[in-house]
Amino acid sequence: MSHKITRKMDLNSADFYVEVEAPLVAERFKAGNFTILRSNPQGERIPMSIMKAEDGKIAMFIKKLGKTSMELYKTLDTFENVIGPMGNPIDIKKYGNVVVASDLVCGHAENYAICEALSAVEGNHVISYQTYPTADEVYPDEVLADKVCDEYHLTTEDGSRGEEGHYIDLLEERLEKGEKIDVIFAGGALPNLQELGEMTKAYNVPTIVTVRQIMVDASGMCGACRVFIDGEMKLACIDGPMFDAHKVDWESALRRPNMFVEKETVATKLCKETGRC
């Protein structure tokens, strides 16, 4: 059974928005869960963050990067499979002052979902930070997390729109001033999540981040997504995908997603040559 794509739009020069019919996933989705996508009957299984789920549909932000995403962007109007929800949701409870931060495609989707879930809990003050490189790359207003949080900060690294700087620096300023932040949830570029963890450790702020890894079955069978937390092997698919940034072995977490880069380049090149993407 294939899944109909009901809406596609550009988010910026690199990313696009997809809305797809996936009743089973939509019905059970909670912030923190992800989905496994297969674009066609010969497709690979790709983990993807979910921005929101409603009316039997889920919305995702996808980067036009590899073969599958390019093909989805250009030529496909259905997905072969949209599986899940997989992984663990975040603990949806009262934390107090919650920061939700992101600087990259999947992270922005998670940002929206987490803000929406946590701002619905009484007693939370949810602060969202969304960092983009420059004004031209900021996503359309309708998908920004400002609607689902209590305090919103749009930031650009060059200062061309919103506040200037990366969320890590802006948060550090606030912590330096002695402001109380009870927990930080963050997603996006892995090296920045490592840096965020290093920064918040000094201030002793619990920091929970999405450690995005390559997955195959995403049900605990293959071990491709193994990450090391406090020296112990965990699987991002069934133990994560979010972990304590202060405990992640970042060296291997940053390296493992590159294991197949050589092959991925070949696939994308061939796909472009044959006009499929």
Min dist CB 99 to another protein, Å, is 29
Whole-number minimum distance, CB 253 to another protein, in Å? 9
The token pair at 20 is: 């797809």
Nearer to another protein, 134 or 219 (CB): 219
* DSSP string over 97-147: EEEEEE-SHHHHHHHHHHHHHHHTSTT-EEEEEEEESSGGGSPPGGGSGGG
Residues 6+ apart with CB under 8 A from 214: 224, 225, 256, 257, 259, 260
Q: Which of 132, 199, 256, 277 binds another protein (CB under 8 A)?
A: 256
Q: In whole angstroms, give the CA distance from residue 271 to residue 277.
A: 6
Helices of type H across 120-259: 167-176, 190-203, 236-239, 250-255
Q: Is 74 in the site for another protein (CB under 8 A)?
A: no
Can you tell me the distance from the alpha carbon of 224 to that of 235, in angstroms, rounded to the nearest whole number? 8
Does 56 bind another protein (CB under 8 A)? Our answer is: no
Among 169, 228, 247, 272, binds another protein (CB under 8 A): 228
Strand 46-49, strand 34-38: pairing: antiparallel
Burial 27-45 (b: 16+ CB within 10 A, else e): eebebbbbbbbbbbeebbb
Closest contact distance (angstroms) between CB of 17 and another protein is 22
Of 67, 108, 166, 212, the residue at the interface with another protein (CB under 8 A) is 67
Distance in Å, CB of 108 to another protein, minimum: 25
- Structure tokens that stand for 203 in this block: 């201030």
Which C-beta is closer to another protein: that of 92 or that of 238? 238
Nearer Cβ to another protein (46/126): 46
Q: Binding residue for another protein (CB under 8 A) from 15, 31, 62, 68?
A: 68
CB 249 within 8 A of CB 213: no
Span 81-100, contacts to another protein by CB under 8 A: 81, 83-86
- Structure token pair of residue 111: 């940002």
Q: Does 224 bind another protein (CB under 8 A)?
A: yes
Nearer to another protein, 146 or 217 (CB): 217
Counting Cβ atoms within 10 Å, is residue 222 exposed (0-12), middle (13-18) or buried (19+)?
Answer: middle
Count of residues near another protein by CB under 8 A:
45
Least distance (Å) between residue 109 CB and another protein: 19
Q: What token pair was written down for 21?
A: 């019919």
Minimum Å gap between C-beta 30 and another protein is: 11
Q: Which of 7, 159, 219, 230 binds another protein (CB under 8 A)?
A: 219
User: Which residues of the shown chain bind another protein in the complex (CB under 8 A)?
Assistant: 24-25, 28, 38-40, 42-45, 67-68, 80-81, 83-86, 216-217, 219-224, 226, 228, 233, 238, 249, 251-252, 255-256, 258-260, 262-264, 266-267, 270-271
